[in-house]
Amino acid sequence: MAEFVIAGAATSIGILSWLLYRWQNDFNSQLLKKQTLYGLIAAGLFFLLLLVFKNPVAGVLAVVLMGLCLKRRRELAKKARNRIIENQAEVALQLIASFYDNTGDIMTALKEAADCIQPPLADELRLTVTQYNANKAPLLALQDMAERIDDRDISIFVNAVILSERYGTDTAQVIKDVSRKISHRISLRDELKNEVWGQGMTIRIFFIVLPVLTAALMLIPDIRQVLINGMGGKIIINVLLLVEYCAWYFSTNQEVIDQL
C-alpha cells in the first residue's frame, strides 16, 4: 500500500508541476489563485480516493482530469473575453462609422470610439492608435489589432476597411453594414442559447446527482465494501470520474453556438 501512495503522490505532483511549468508565462494573480485552488482540490481528491476508497488509479485519474478541467477553464475564459468584445463590437463599429464619416480618418475614428466604450475593446482600440502614432502604417496597425483580439467580427471589420481603402469605396457605409451583420448574428445566437438552456440544466443536474448518490451508497456497509475492496467497485469509481468530467465538459461545450 505504501508503494501505491508514493507512486500516486509522485505522479500527481509531477502532473501538477508540469501543468504549472507549461502555464508559467501566463501567470497573473487571478490565474495563480485559480491554479492553486485546482491544485488543492486535485490533491484532496487524490488522498480521498486513496485513503477512503483505496483506489490509487482513481486518485491519479482525478488529478489528470482536474488538469484538463483547468485547461478547459482557460479556454472558456478566453472565449468569454472574446464574447465581451463581440458584444461591444456592434456599438463600437457604429461609432467608428459615424466618426469616420465626420473626420475621414480611421485612426481618429478609433480614438473617438474608444472614449465611448468600455474595456477590453476600448483598450485594444487605444493600443492601435498608439501604434499608429509610433509611425506604424494605419492598415498594418489594424491588422495587428485583429491578430491580438482574434475575433471573427473584428477580423471582418479590418478586412472590410482594408479593401474599402484599397478600392476607394465608402468605408463608413462598409463599417455600418458589418455592424448590422454582427447585430443579426448576436440575436440568432441568443435565441439558440435559450433553446439549449434546458439541455444544459439536465446535464448539470446529472453532474450533481452522481457524487451525491455515491456518497449515499457509501453509507450502506455491503455496497461500501464492494466499492472499496472489490475490483468491480474500483472500476465503477474510475468510470464515475470519467462520466463526471464528460458531463461537466459537455455542460460547458457551446461549439455550435460559438460558430454563429
Burial of 57 (0-12, 13-18, 19+ CB in 10 A): middle
pLDDT digits (tens, 9 = 90+) for 81-99: 777 877 787 788 888 888 8
Q: What are 255's three cell numbers?
A: 461549439
Domain boundary assignment for the chain: 87-187
Q: How far apart are the first and last CA of the chain?
A: 52
- Residue 256 in this model has a pLDDT that exceeds 90: no
Say what the pTM is: 0.58
Cis peptide before 120 (omega within 30 of 0): yes
pLDDT band at 3 (very low <50, low <70, confident <90, very high): very low
Residue among 214, 201, 237, 223 at smallest CA distance from 65 = 237
pLDDT digits (tens, 9 = 90+) for 25-70: 554 556 666 667 777 787 888 888 888 888 888 888 988 888 888 8
Of the listed ranges 19-33, 46-60, 95-109, 219-233, the least confidently predicted one is 19-33
Q: What is the rounded distance in angstroms from the CA atom of residue 1 to the CA atom of residue 54?
A: 9
Q: According to the model, what pLDDT value does residue 127 have?
A: 94
Q: What is the rounded distance in angstroms from the CA atom of residue 256 to the CA atom of residue 215?
A: 35
Of the listed ranges 183-187, 225-229, 250-254, the least confidently predicted one is 250-254
Q: According to the model, what pLDDT value does residue 114 have?
A: 92
- Residue 258 in this model has a pLDDT that exceeds 60: no
